[in-house]
């Protein structure tokens, strides 16, 4: 039976889908060289050539697809972790996995390995994320049972340690390496290697599909772990699987785009304003909203101060922080707080 709730969900998801489409069109049209929607359509569907084809297909389209994958994955990871920990302040970077990924990238830069092949930097970044995941899992798993409180505290400490080591690397590296490390750690979606872009996109879409297998379990988690057990949820298996999934999504996202903050924190809160806390729709809504948000922010980052390009993380921090404050304000109003 179709109820008002499902109709509301359908309308909101449709609006998010159109917002994503609008963000893609906006990103294709705007840049140092501007194109009209008619020119975009001619290149994509009509096979038009010239400079427009080169810019749209070889420069802007790869960047848009990467932003879609990274934005969707980070937002999806944020909503999963917030459900697992039942903590609205947890995001993909809280557990220290992103910091370790950044540390791996920094090491590849100062060792001169990043210049030897296009995929060396993201590979080192992913290896750093994988090492952080292994350490977190080993330290906080007892007989296959993850201790969530200990996991969160260990992750925060690992994040601080990684940040300190990155600052150490930056203080002793050469000037040209310093600029590369700073720009990468602030988020950059300039990667054009299709292998990495396709890997990020496939991982993000597969992550969304796998997360939906646990949508009802996440709904049960909102009542607490004990209540979830009484409802028949295998709590330990769900925690273990979703933690691995969140770590994989974070590692791939950071490897492909650097550290882009506030997407996994602010977007799920904003989506909850419209959808509530039902993960059957919250997962897809967060993925679509995160993808549209990052595409839009990246377009602003590369056009707002032409001919310079800002790191994407700068724009997501400003806009995402404003969204987060707005979401908190709406929540206080809804609860009747003053």
Model confidence at 333: pLDDT above 70: no
Task: Give the per-residue pLDDT at 169.
Answer: 87
Residue 73, C-beta contacts closer than 8 angstroms, at least 6 positions apart: 200, 203, 204, 207, 249, 250, 252, 253, 290
Task: Give the per-residue pLDDT at 143.
Answer: 65
C-alpha angle 152/135/317, rounded to 5°? Answer: 50
Residue 175 pLDDT class (50, 70, 90 cuts): confident
For the chain, give the percent of residues with pLDDT over 90. Answer: 28
pLDDT digits 0-9 by tens, 81-120: 999 888 888 888 888 888 888 888 888 888 887 777 667 8
Residue 61 pLDDT class (50, 70, 90 cuts): very high
Over range 180-190, report the average pLDDT: 80
Model confidence at 25: pLDDT above 80: yes
Instruction: Name the token pair of 125.
Output: 């970044």
pLDDT digits 0-9 by tens, 216-243: 999 998 888 888 888 888 888 898 899 8
Task: Give the per-residue pLDDT at 275.
Answer: 85
Beta bridge partners of 56: none
Model confidence at 326: pLDDT above 90: no
Residue 6 pLDDT class (50, 70, 90 cuts): confident
pLDDT digits 0-9 by tens, 122-157: 888 889 888 988 888 888 877 667 778 888 888 889
Closest C-alpha among 34, 200, 73 to residue 125: 200
Over range 234-257, report the average pLDDT: 89
Residue 338 pLDDT class (50, 70, 90 cuts): very low
Q: Are the C-beta atoms of 264 and 91 separated by less than 8 Å? A: yes
For the chain, give the percent of residues with pLDDT over 70. Answer: 94
Residue 334 pLDDT class (50, 70, 90 cuts): very low
Residue 114, C-beta contacts closer than 8 angstroms, at least 6 positions apart: 105, 108, 120, 121, 124, 180
Residue 2 pLDDT class (50, 70, 90 cuts): low
Residue 331 pLDDT class (50, 70, 90 cuts): low
Rg (CA), the chain: 20
Question: Please, what is the average pLDDT of the chain?
Answer: 86
Task: Give the per-residue pLDDT at 336.
Answer: 43
Model confidence at 308: pLDDT above 90: no
Q: Domains in the chain and their CATH numbers?
A: 4-335 (1.10.3470.10)
Residue 249 pLDDT class (50, 70, 90 cuts): very high
Distances (CA, A) of 119 to 108, 191, 192, 208, 308: 11, 10, 11, 25, 25
Task: Give the per-residue pLDDT at 220.
Answer: 92
How many other CB atoms sit within 10 Å of the CB of residue 138?
A: 8
Task: Give the per-residue pLDDT at 288.
Answer: 96
Give the residue ranges of DSSP H helices in the chain.
Answer: 4-29, 37-46, 51-55, 61-85, 97-110, 120-140, 148-172, 175-185, 194-212, 215-221, 225-230, 235-257, 263-275, 279-303, 312-335
Over range 295-305, report the average pLDDT: 91
Q: Are the C-beta atoms of 187 and 261 separated by less than 8 Å? A: yes
The pTM is what? Answer: 0.90
268: cis peptide before it, omega within 30°? no
């Amino acid at each position: 039976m179709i109820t008002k709730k499902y109709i509301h969900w359908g309308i909101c998801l449709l609006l998010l889908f159109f917002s994503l489409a609008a963000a893609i069109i906006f990103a294709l049209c705007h840049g140092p060289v501007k194109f009209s929607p008619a020119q975009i359509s001619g290149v994509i569907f009509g096979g038009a050539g010239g400079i427009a084809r080169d810019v749209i297909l070889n420069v802007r389209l790869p960047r848009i697809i990467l932003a879609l994958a990274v934005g969707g994955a980070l937002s999806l990871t944020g909503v999963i972790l917030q459900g697992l920990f039942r903590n609205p302040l947890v995001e993909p970077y809280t557990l220290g996995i992103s910091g370790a990924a950044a540390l791996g990238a920094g090491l590849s830069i100062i060792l001169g390995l990043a210049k030897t092949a296009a995929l060396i930097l993201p590979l080192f970044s992913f290896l750093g994320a994988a090492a952080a995941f292994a350490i977190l899992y080993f330290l906080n798993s007892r007989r296959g049972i993850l201790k969530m409180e200990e996991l969160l505290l260990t992750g925060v400490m690992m994040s601080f340690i990684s940040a300190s080591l990155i600052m150490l690397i930056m203080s002793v590296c050469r000037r040209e390496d310093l600029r590369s490390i700073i720009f990468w750690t602030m988020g950059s979606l300039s990667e054009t290697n299709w292998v990495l872009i396709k890997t990020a996109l496939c991982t993000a879409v597969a992550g969304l599909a796998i997360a939906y297998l646990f949508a009802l379990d996440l709904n049960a988690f909102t009542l607490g772990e004990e209540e979830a057990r009484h409802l028949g949820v295998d709590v330990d298996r769900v925690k273990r699987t979703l933690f691995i999934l969140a770590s994989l999504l974070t590692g791939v996202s950071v490897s492909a785009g650097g550290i882009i903050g506030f997407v996994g924190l602010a977007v799920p809160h904003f989506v909850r304003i419209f959808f509530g806390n039902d993960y059957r729709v919250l997962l897809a809504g967060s993925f679509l909203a995160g993808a549209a948000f990052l595409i839009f922010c990246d377009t602003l980052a590369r056009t707002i101060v032409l001919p310079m390009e800002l790191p994407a993380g700068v724009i997501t921090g400003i806009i995402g922080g404003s969204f987060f404050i707005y979401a908190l304000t709406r929540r206080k109003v809804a609860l009747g707080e003053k």
